[in-house]
Amino acid sequence: MELVTPGIGLIFWMTLSFGIVLYVLGKFAWKPILSTIKERESYIANSIRHSKKIHRELEELDATKEKMLQQTRNKADEMLKQAKAGGEDIIQKAHQQARKEADQIIESAKNSILAERKAAEREIRQQIVRLSIDVAQKVIREEFKDVEKKNQYINKLLEDIQLN
Model pLDDT for residues 3-29, shown as the tens digit of each residue: 677 778 888 999 999 999 999 988 888
Q: Give burial (CB, 10 Å; 0-12/13-18/19+) of 147.
A: exposed
Measure the CA–CA gap between 64 and 102, rounded to whole angstroms: 9
Q: How confident is the model at residue 2 (pLDDT cuts 50, 70, 90)?
A: low
pLDDT given at position 23: 92
C-beta of residue 51 within 8 angstroms of C-beta of residue 117: yes
